Every structure is written in C-alpha cells, then in structure tokens.
Amino acid sequence: MLEVNPRQSIDAASALTSKESITAATNGVYARLREVSLYGRDMIALPDVLADNTINTLAGNRLVREWNNQIGSHMSNWQQSYYGINQINLILAALEEFDTDQDYKNGIRGQNLFLRALYYHNLMRAYAYDPTAIVDAQNRGGVPIMERGAIAVEEIVYGARATIEETYAFIYRDLEEAYELIPVANNSRGPFFATKGAVAALFSRVALYNGDYERVVAESQKAINSGIASFPNAEQLEASWRSERHPESFFEIPFATPDNVGSNESLRATFMTRTTVESTATASHGNVVLSEDLLAQFSETDGRRAFIQSGLGANRAFFEINKFASKNGVPNLDNVPVIRYAEVLLNRAEAHAALNQTAAANAELNKIRTRANLAAVNLQGDALKAEILQQRRLEFAFEGHRFFDLKRLGMPIVKESETIAFEDLRILSRIPVREVEINTNLKQNFGY
C-alpha cells in the first residue's frame, strides 16, 4: 500500500487507453523537461558556463569541468531527450487507435509535436552543427530520428544519424502540423502548455538556426500576434522577473513543490549565494558568477543591471545573476522561461539584418535597447549584426543562449584561460559512449 508510483509515471501495460491516461502521459512529457540535464539546470546554465559569460568560483566543485571545457564535459541531454521522444511517439501511436472526438485528438497530437520539435532541436544544438556554420571535414550529420515508440527493448530501432537537412526538415514538419492542430482555446493554458504562439516562437528560433531568415520574420510575427506573451516596458522590467509567471514567456516550465531539485543543482543555487534577492545570509555556493568581461559590457545606465548583485560570504568579491531568485516563494523553485518575447524580437532583428532590411532590423533592435535605458541606434552591415549579437548576450545572460549563439555563427569562444576555435572538437557534445557501443549504426562526433 505504501508503494506509490512517481506522480508522472504510467504503467505501459495498461496505459494510453483513455483520455485520462493519454492526457497524463502528455503531462509526463512536459514534466520531463524539468530534469537537471534539461531545463532543471543544464539547458539554462551550461551554455553560459561553456562560453565566455561566467567564472566558476570552484566552490562545491560543480560544473568546473564544463567551465574548463574539458573533453567530454558538455551538454548531456541525449538520454532524457530520447526518453521524452519515445513517450511522445507512444502517445501519437495510441491516438491513432483511440476512438474519441477529433478535437481532443488534434489538441493532444499538436502539443506532442511541439514538444518533439523542442526536444529534437535541443539535441541538434548540442550534438550537431547548425546549418549556418559547419566544419565539413568533421560533420557527422544530425541525430537519429525516431518516429515509432518502443515499450520493450526488442522493439527499439537502432537508427543512424539523419543528415542535418533531414533533421531540420523533420522539425519543420512537426512545428507546421502542431501550429495547425493546436486550438486557439489553448491560449488560456499558456505559457505552461503548448499554444499556437509558443509554436510560432519556437519556429522563429529553429528557422534562425537554419538560416531561413524569411521564415524567421513570418513566424516571429505570428508569435507576436498570438497575444500569448507581452513585452514589459522599462519600468516593469525588473518586476517581470520577480513574478511567478514571466509575462514575456511564450513557453515556460513551471516548478511546483514536488519538483524541487534542491539546493545543490537548482538554478538559484548554481547562480546565487542568497535564497532571495533580499536575503542577507549565505544559503549556497553560487559557484557560477559573471565573468569580468560580461560585467563590463553592461553600461551604468543599463536597466538589466537590476539582475546583477554582489554575492555573499566567499562570493562577496563576485557578481551574481538573480533572475532565478526563488520567485515562486519557495527556495529553489523558479519557473523557467524557455522562449520569451525578447528572443522573438532579436530573432526577427537578426533575420532582417541578414536580409539587408536595415530599417526593420534597427527597429526591432531598438525595442530591446530602449527598454534597457540605452539610446536608440541606426546601424548598418556588420556593425548592426554585431550589436544584435551583443544585445542577445546582455538580454539573455544566464538564460542558456550564449554558447549556442556563438556556435551557430561559427565564432570562437574567447575565455581568459584559452580561446576555443570553432573547429575545435569541443564545440559539439560527445554522444554518450553506451549509445555508440549499443548502436553500431551511430557515428560518434569527431575527435571523441
């Protein structure tokens, strides 16, 4: 009687035979995103740790190897992502056999296609080159595409890596169908569940990584028009990060009390020595802090300095980011914005700049600059593109973008300790060794 299954688990033998079980299984796919290797920590923290935004204070010995860019210490979202993809595929197969109203089936299918696209794009960001920047001699392709779920080991298909083009085409198809299937009524469930606005926002990111700039412009407009998210003004900027639900979020992962990953691996504990912004007692190591270079990029008038404060105890000489500061009222429980309004604007600005639509690019860029109390600019060419990248660095500091931005642009990572060239094998993550050993069709990334 005391053996209680984890609240997100389902029995494969009896599952997916009712609306209740299919809905529960879909909620389980959302819940998996809270894993530490996904948005519980690593998809947010590691892209800044691996790049040039951070210093590791070495306290607690966490993420030190990643900060030193040691071989094999990188993103590790492979296993949990494919668990999630397998769950999705089982749900999609069950829907085809389940006799129920079409509106319900469309809504569930649309949500799962959105989630599958998110899982796959994050795999591509970690384990494959982006279409915009490839080292041809080292390119081993994209990732294996799984379209059929497996319950038993003997049902697993050990596929090879699809090409980068094939994988992006697959992600595009999922997003296009998801947008058509998800009902407008789902808007009331945003940003914690998939909506048309969330699909379009994610599509603007995927298309940017694919160098498909006209699609970026189109999808970003659809996201903005959806009304799912808003763009707080300068006076509301700090408060937007203190609210439980970020008003800019097109898609956000909520964390409730049972989801607490604790004071060792939470984003709050990773980035801060305080429990809250106002705390005066040291509560954790806060071993990932701002690099001197990043700190120097924020002008004295920049409104985003509200998210920077000196640490406590051993961190009193360092500066910490307080975007994840127990804003839900419970230590270490912070909802995680996955895609927010500012990203859609900067995706759009970058796409306009790539299309030589200078006026439009400046207009979107200046929405970010003026909100941060910076003067509007009128730039062209390389100077415009550089400023868009700079604003991405400042706006999304400690939100999981910096490494991926440098990677998709083919740029080196310049750290105080070393410069990691784009051609370095460490730009791509190592596929888990056990996966390569089990699946002889799977090629390991170059150099590992």
Calculate helix-pair angle for 341-354, 381-395, nearest 10 degrees.
170
| Residue 408 to residue 125: CA distance in whole angstroms | 8
Token pair recorded at residue 103: 């509106």
pLDDT for the residue 13? 47
| 3-state class (DSSP) for residue 394 | helix
| Residue 321 to residue 301: CA distance in whole angstroms | 17
Residue 307 within any structural domain of the chain? no
> Is residue 305's pLDDT more than 80?
yes
Residue 49 within any structural domain of the chain? yes
Segment 47-68 shows an average pLDDT of 96
**What is the Cα Rg of the chain in Å?**
21
**DSSP code at position 289:** E
Rounded to 10 degrees, the C-alpha dihedral 261/267/273/278 comes to -100
| 3-state class (DSSP) for residue 419 | strand
> Is residue 2's pLDDT more than 50?
no
- N- to C-terminal Cα distance for the chain? 48
Residue 371 within any structural domain of the chain? yes
Residue 310 within any structural domain of the chain? no
| Residue 88 to residue 72: CA distance in whole angstroms | 29
pLDDT tens, 309-366?
999 999 999 999 999 998 877 888 899 999 999 999 999 999 999 999 999 999 999 9
| Residue 353 to residue 380: CA distance in whole angstroms | 8
> Is residue 223's pLDDT more than 90?
yes
Token pair recorded at residue 412: 């080196």
pTM for this entry: 0.95
Calculate helix-pair angle for 196-209, 213-225, nearest 10 degrees.
160
pLDDT tens, 386-397?
999 999 999 999
Rounded to 10 degrees, the C-alpha dihedral 202/208/213/219 comes to 10
Q: Which amino acid is at 108?
A: I
pLDDT for the residue 252? 98
Give the CATH number for residue 150: 1.25.40.390
Token pair recorded at residue 197: 């606005």
Structural domain that includes position 431:
19-58+67-231+341-438
CA atoms within 13 A on the CB side of 227: 6
Q: How far is CA 203 from CA 66, 218, 388, 430, in A?
A: 29, 10, 19, 26
| Residue 272 to residue 141: CA distance in whole angstroms | 38
CA of residue 76 relative to chain centroid, distance: 13
| Residue 330 to residue 171: CA distance in whole angstroms | 36
Residue 315 within any structural domain of the chain? no
Residue 141 CB: number of other CB atoms within 10 A?
Answer: 18
| Residue 447 to residue 343: CA distance in whole angstroms | 33
pLDDT tens, 87-145?
999 999 999 988 889 999 999 999 999 999 999 999 999 999 999 999 999 999 999 99
Residue 47 within any structural domain of the chain? yes
pLDDT tens, 182-220?
999 999 999 999 999 999 999 999 999 999 999 999 999
Asked if the bond preceding 191 is cis, omega within 30° of 0, the reply is yes
- 443 touches 144 (CB < 8 A): no
Q: Which of 109, 294, 130 is nearest to 205 (CA)?
A: 130
pLDDT tens, 240-271?
999 989 999 999 999 887 777 777 899 999 99
Q: For the chain, give me the number of helices (H) and strands (E)? A: 17, 8
Q: At a CB cut-off of 8 Å and minimum separation 6, what does 418 contact?
A: 69
Our count of domains for the chain comes to 1
Residue 290 within any structural domain of the chain? no
Residue 324 within any structural domain of the chain? no
pLDDT tens, 279-298?
999 999 999 999 999 999 99
Segment 28-41 shows an average pLDDT of 96
3-state helix, strand, coil in the chain (%, to 5): 50, 5, 40
| Residue 46 to residue 32: CA distance in whole angstroms | 18
CA of residue 440 relative to chain centroid, distance: 30
